[in-house]
Amino acid sequence: MPQLTPRGILFDCDGVLVDSLESAGAAWDIWSAEWAPHFSFARDGIHGRRAADTIAELVAADSVAVAEHQLERLEIDHTEGTREIPGAVALTSSIPNSQWTVVTSGTRELAKSRLRTAGITPPASFVAAEDVTHGKPDPEPYRRGAELLGLDPADCIVFEDAPAGIAAARAAGIGYVVGVGIDSAPGEPDVIVQDLRSVSWNDGVLDVTPL
């Protein structure tokens, strides 16, 4: 059972702290019926990627801003089905605020709404889609996350569920990557946990029970 002593912890949001698949799917289905009838979120969605990057491939360039805004409002309106990933509330509540943050491909307003709906208090500041020029799998989001904590990426641990996010963490020079859920396996994280009930924080040490 790994015992880790990170100076900072960077959590992805969807699939790591919150389960938003059902609520996001409902919003995307409504959106795609108008904007991209050929697109199926369940079939074509790439987890860990910014919605803006997907939308840019589906609609005309002069319609991207309007399409993005509509999808974000739909997703916020459908957050009621969002739940915590088991163990997320307990884990984030036990870590000092100065040592953890969120690095998400979602927008700030949407991420805060999902976190609060799931019972998780959002950190004071975090990295959201609008904070970066390039989203995951580019390293920029996780580099920004480490900077936000005033740390070198090598001194941080990332919790990710998506191969795109794991690739971003690796490229950013993150010291250790914990994959959440078996779907993280293709990204080759350092260890995989079933959910966050397998992780605890005790006096600066993360105890991790792998699958």
Active site residues: 12, 14
Residue 62 identity (one-letter amino acid): D
What are φ and ψ of residue 39, in 5° steps? -95, 130
Where b means 16+ CB within 10 Å and e means fewer, 167-200 reads: bbbbbbebbbbbbbbeebeebebbbbbebbebbe
Beta-carbon neighbour count of residue 146 at 10 Å? 26
Please report, as a single letter, which amino acid is at residue 164: A
164's CB contacts (< 8 A; 6+ apart) are 46, 47, 48, 49, 136, 137, 187
For residue 84, list its beta bridge partners. 18
